[in-house]
């Protein structure tokens, strides 16, 4: 074991893992789509790290902005106004299109949701917060209770008022459902949600949360009618609609924010990740004018030493400018079509591929033992034989870096990936899926 790895394993705890099973790659260089280990092996970063390095590694404009800010004023408390702070706030709010909106900056995604919970409760004077079972919103005390998938068990019993609902997932809907089309899917899940709102008491519900495209839990893209239906239910029952754009935001889906694909506007969004591409941590909550105005006279019950940290703000302003300078929205029109065609082809060509889901460069491959029964390749919440790590290992051996969740493999390359690079990497995936076909 190398000295670096040995020291890392001795002192550093890795997330969501039994430490003895962790075998971290020692990274020594990263550039564009690629990173290299200490032995010089090259990997394509096909998950953009944790779906946050949207502009790839080593973007010079972002790094220069960070260096410049570090040399100028690396830190001033959040009470002060600064050029980088005002620029970042303007760029973020304008990106959402929320007229008269404002932003409260945090350090990352969980904290963004954490503060948005408080803002929703303070603004509405109501307690209950709805969020989906199949979702991830972070793992801190409050955000971890919003999270519906098994990682929220670590936060239980948590505080009162967190209610979970089922969001659309047609591929794994209850067996009795006979959906003819997307509208049927939307109608079914909207009816369930409205029933739940009535039984929980609309006068007690502050907000309904959703990931504008469910990310970690398998890139679940709901029908347009469903998003618009949730908006209508929120209006009908005077409930705030909060879209978590932490993973789906910042062009991942092809538009600046994912909600822009579905013809609705939430009351608040939470964001992080692609806002700085992770070069310096930053997140936040953007609220519509009505909520921002509420805090004109009412004191905001949120505060962080590092809210609107100058280094994060400088990185964010530069990153947002880079998305435009690099014409990411237009470039992605080509690459996302290439990725979509390749993935759709897998459903035909691979016995182990049950469903693929994609929007922009945000995609997941759902693996099954049997296409007819849709039995997942590994049972929910368990993988005793380590099948998914084995598949990731095969990809990694060929230099394709990504991660998996349950029975799904994530494919979310940097938005700067070229068509050639994409085809080259997906040929590796194709070959590995041939081996998975043999395993089932």
Chain contacts with ligand PLP (rule: CB under 6 A): 50, 108-110, 113, 136-138, 211, 215-216, 244, 246-247, 272
CB-nearest residue to ligand PLP: 109
Rounded to whole angstroms, how far apart are CA atoms 194 and 259?
Answer: 21
Q: Which is nearer to ligand PLP, 106 or 288 (by Cβ)?
A: 106
CB atoms within 10 A of CB 204: 14
Q: What is the smallest separation between the CB atom of 380 and ligand PLP, expressed in angstroms?
A: 19
143 touches 106 (CB < 8 A): no
Q: Which is nearer to ligand PLP, 212 or 335 (by Cβ)?
A: 212
Q: Which is nearer to ligand PLP, 47 or 425 (by Cβ)?
A: 47
Q: What is the smallest separation between the CB atom of 208 and ligand PLP, expressed in angstroms?
A: 15
Rounded to whole angstroms, how far apart are CA atoms 91 and 87?
Answer: 6
Q: Which is nearer to ligand PLP, 57 or 252 (by Cβ)?
A: 252
Q: What is the smallest separation between the CB atom of 13 and ligand PLP, expressed in angstroms?
A: 16
Rounded to whole angstroms, how far apart are CA atoms 208 and 358?
Answer: 24
Cα-based distances in Å from 157 to 128, 145, 153, 319: 15, 9, 8, 38
Residues β-bridged to residue 367: 353
Three-state secondary-structure class, residue 27: strand
In 3D space, the residue among 140, 100, 104, 412 whose CA is nearest the CA of residue 270 turns out to be 104
Rounded to whole angstroms, how far apart are CA atoms 425 and 406?
Answer: 22
Q: What is the smallest separation between the CB atom of 51 and ligand PLP, expressed in angstroms?
A: 7
Q: Which is nearer to ligand PLP, 244 or 355 (by Cβ)?
A: 244
Strands (E), 190-237: 205-211
Write the DSSP assignment of 135-197 as a string of letters: ----SSHHHHHH--SGGGGGGTT--TTEEEEPPP-GGGS-TT----SHHHHHHHHHHHHHHHH
Three-state secondary-structure class, residue 303: coil
Q: Which is nearer to ligand PLP, 36 or 306 (by Cβ)?
A: 306
Q: What is the smallest separation between the CB atom of 242 and ligand PLP, expressed in angstroms?
A: 11
Q: What is the smallest separation between the CB atom of 147 and ligand PLP, expressed in angstroms?
A: 8
Q: What is the smallest separation between the CB atom of 232 and ligand PLP, expressed in angstroms?
A: 23
Q: Which is nearer to ligand PLP, 342 or 364 (by Cβ)?
A: 364
Q: Which is nearer to ligand PLP, 240 or 272 (by Cβ)?
A: 272
Rounded to whole angstroms, how far apart are CA atoms 315 and 19?
Answer: 32
Q: What is the smallest separation between the CB atom of 53 and ligand PLP, expressed in angstroms?
A: 13
Residues β-bridged to residue 269: 243, 286
């Amino acid at each position: 074991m190398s000295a670096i790895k040995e020291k890392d394993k001795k002192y550093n705890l890795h997330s969501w893992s039994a430490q003895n099973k962790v075998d971290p790659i020692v990274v020594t260089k990263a550039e564009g789509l690629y990173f290299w280990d200490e032995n010089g092996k090259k990997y394509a970063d096909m998950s953009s790290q944790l779906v946050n390095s949207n502009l790839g590694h080593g973007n010079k404009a972002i790094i220069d902005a960070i260096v410049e800010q570090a040399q100028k004023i690396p830190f001033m408390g959040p009470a002060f106004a600064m050029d980088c702070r005002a620029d970042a706030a303007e760029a973020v709010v304008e990106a959402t299109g929320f007229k008269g909106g404002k932003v409260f900056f945090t350090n990352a995604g969980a904290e963004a949701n954490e503060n948005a919970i408080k803002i929703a409760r303070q603004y509405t004077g109501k307690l209950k917060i709805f969020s989906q079972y199949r979702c991830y919103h972070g793992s801190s005390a409050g955000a971890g209770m919003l999270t519906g998938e098994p990682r929220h068990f670590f936060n239980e019993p948590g505080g009162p008022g967190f209610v979970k609902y089922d969001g659309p997932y047609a591929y794994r809907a209850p067996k009795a459902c006979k959906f003819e089309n997307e509208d049927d899917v939307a109608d079914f899940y909207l009816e369930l949600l409205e029933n739940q709102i009535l039984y929980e008491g609309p006068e007690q519900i502050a907000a309904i949360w959703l990931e504008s495209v469910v990310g970690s839990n398998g890139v679940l893209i709901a029908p347009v009618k469903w998003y618009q239906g949730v908006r209508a239910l929120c209006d009908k029952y005077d409930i705030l609609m909060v879209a978590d754009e932490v993973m789906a935001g910042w062009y991942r889906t092809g538009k600046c924010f994912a909600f822009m694909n579905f013809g609705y506007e939430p009351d608040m969004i939470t964001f992080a990740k692609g806002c700085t591409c992770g070069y310096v941590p930053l997140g936040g909550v953007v609220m519509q004018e009505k909520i921002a105005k509420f805090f004109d006279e009412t004191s905001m019950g949120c505060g962080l030493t590092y809210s609107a940290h100058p280094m994060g703000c400088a990185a964010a302003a530069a990153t947002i400018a880079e998305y435009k300078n690099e014409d990411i929205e237009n470039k992605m029109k080509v690459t996302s079509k290439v990725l979509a065609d390749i993935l759709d082809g897998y459903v035909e060509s691979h016995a182990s591929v049950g469903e693929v889901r994609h929007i922009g460069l945000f995609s997941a491959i759902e693996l099954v033992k049997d296409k007819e029964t849709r039995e997942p390749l590994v049972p929910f919440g368990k993988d005793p034989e380590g099948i998914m790590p084995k598949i990731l290992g095969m990809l990694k051996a060929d230099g394709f870096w990504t991660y998996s969740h349950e029975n799904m493999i994530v494919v979310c390359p940097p938005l700067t990936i070229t068509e050639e690079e994409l085809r080259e990497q997906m040929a590796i995936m194709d070959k590995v899926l041939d081996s998975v076909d043999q395993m089932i």
